[in-house]
């Protein structure tokens, strides 16, 4: 017995990873549907050793599936997720559309698995922003050990966080600059090849960007609203893998060795931390992997109880597809969904 599953956005960066990870983690699938826009109808995508043809979202009957993994952007989610939830299946949504909805749990299974019990309120579960997901996996075990008061984060976010078009722009611009071709920015606001851009999303009135605000809003919802966070999000010319320089202020002393021990025991985290060149992780090392890597743990001597460290993870995996599949596993393990359950009445 398995689930009838639809992956919406199946031709995209995240959708393709979802299909790969469902297979890698042996999620019980009875029937798989790949869904995308009308223009992709009939396009073949891989699912395990099979290829399946994409179906048009407009023509698909969502009441025929148990689970929908949605990664087609905020506008598509806003139009479809509630309608799909009302038709029966649970939607695990990768966009930001429902993350702050009080009736939609926002879940990283290592951090707040108990929120799975809220999944049937709207039949929607939200997956966090890629940078927040890897951050909270590292912060949660430290916060349990020594309460976190304040966090300062600078991100180094790869172009795959901006979808297929982001990856194409870095590739084409790099070739164009070498070959004296047209390197005009299209997807990003400035040249991304051989450059870094301290702007992701859109500007808010307070001078931050919405990408930066997502990081504190989502950390507050999942971990603890009392943690103060200040964030600078930066796009860098890396294809896959987001990095973060993190400085944390605790309410009691915590030595780097104690933090290493705590993080070594923590689910989803791998500590790679030696003062040698194999002793820290870069995005290239993390691409294709499941872990959130923590390196360069050291005391911050400028505050009373401070630590600084470096966090890296594959943004398409823990930052999106892997976390979505782990949410599906959590819903299965906790009985929120059962294989081929078909239509269910909402229990609010």
Ligand X SMILES: NC(=O)c1ccc[n+]([C@@H]2O[C@H](COP(=O)([O-])OP(=O)(O)OC[C@H]3O[C@@H](n4cnc5c(N)ncnc54)[C@H](OP(=O)(O)O)[C@@H]3O)[C@@H](O)[C@H]2O)c1
List residues near ligand X by CB under 6 A: 9-15, 36-37, 39-40, 57, 71-74, 76, 94-95, 130, 160-161, 163-165, 315-316, 319-320
Smaller CB distance to ligand X: residue 271 or 320? 320
Quick check: is 242 catalytic?
Answer: yes
Q: What's the rounded Cα separation, in Å, for the pair 305 and 250? A: 5
- Vertex 39, ends 37 and 43: CA angle to 5°? 90
Annotated binding residue 264? no
Annotated binding residue 95? no
Annotated binding residue 160? yes
Smaller CB distance to ligand X: residue 268 or 306? 268
Give least dist CB 319 to ligand X, A. 5
Annotated binding residue 235? yes
What is the crossing angle of helices 322-333 and 13-24, to 10°?
Answer: 50
Give least dist CB 276 to ligand X, A. 30
Quick check: is 233 catalytic?
Answer: no
Q: Is the dihedral of CA 168, 244, 199, 322 positive or negative?
A: positive
Q: Which of 33, 143, 242, 305 is catalytic?
A: 242
Annotated binding residue 48? no
Strands (E), the chain: 3-8, 29-36, 44-47, 50-56, 67-70, 90-93, 124-126, 148-157, 228-235, 242-250, 269-271, 292-300, 306-313
Q: What's the rounded Cα separation, in Å, for the pair 54 and 229? A: 41
Smaller CB distance to ligand X: residue 109 or 319? 319
Q: Which of 33, 130, 143, 233 is catalytic?
A: 130
Closest CA to 237 of 197, 285, 200: 197
Smaller CB distance to ligand X: residue 146 or 231? 231
Give least dist CB 250 to ligand X, A. 28
Q: Which residues contact 170 (CB under 8 A, 6 or more apart)?
A: 159, 192, 193, 237, 239
Give least dist CB 320 to ligand X, A. 3
Which residues are part of a known binding site for phosphate? 99
Q: Which residues are catalytic?
A: 130, 242
Which residues are part of a known binding site for substrate? 157, 235
């Amino acid at each position: 017995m398995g689930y009838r599953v639809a992956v919406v956005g199946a031709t995209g960066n995240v959708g393709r990873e979802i299909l790969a990870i469902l297979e890698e983690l042996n999620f019980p699938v009875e029937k798989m549907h790949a869904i995308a826009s009308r223009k992709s109808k009939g396009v073949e995508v891989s699912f395990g050793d099979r290829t399946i043809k994409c179906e048009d979202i407009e023509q698909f009957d969502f009441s025929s599936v148990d689970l929908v993994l949605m990664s087609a952007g905020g506008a598509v989610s806003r139009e479809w997720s509630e309608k799909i939830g009302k038709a029966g299946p649970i939607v695990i949504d990768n966009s930001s559309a429902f993350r702050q909805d009080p009736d939609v749990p926002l879940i990283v299974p290592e951090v707040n698995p108990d929120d799975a019990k809220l999944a049937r309120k709207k039949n929607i579960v939200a997956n966090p922003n890629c940078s927040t997901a890897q951050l909270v996996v590292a912060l949660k075990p430290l916060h349990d050990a020594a309460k976190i008061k304040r966090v300062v984060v600078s991100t180094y976010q790869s172009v795959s966080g901006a979808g297929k078009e982001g990856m194409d722009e870095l590739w084409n611009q790099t070739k164009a600059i070498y070959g004296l071709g047209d390197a005009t920015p299209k997807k990003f606001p400035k040249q991304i090849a051989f450059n870094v851009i301290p702007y992701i999303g859109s500007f808010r009135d307070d001078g931050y960007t919405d990408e930066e605000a997502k990081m504190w809003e989502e950390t507050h919802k999942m971990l603890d609203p009392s943690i103060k966070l200040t964030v600078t999000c930066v796009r860098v010319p890396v294809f896959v893998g987001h990095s973060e320089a993190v400085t944390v202020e605790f309410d009691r002393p915590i030595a780097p060795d104690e933090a290493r021990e705590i993080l070594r025991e923590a689910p989803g985290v791998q500590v790679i931390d030696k003062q040698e060149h194999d002793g820290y992780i870069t995005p290239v090392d993390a691409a294709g992997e499941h872990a959130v890597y923590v390196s360069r743990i050291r005391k911050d001597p400028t505050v009373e109880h401070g630590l600084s460290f470096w966090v890296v993870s594959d943004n398409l995996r823990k930052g999106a597809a892997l976390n979505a599949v782990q949410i599906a596993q959590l819903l299965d393990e906790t009985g929120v969904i059962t294989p081929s359950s078909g239509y269910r009445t909402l229990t609010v």
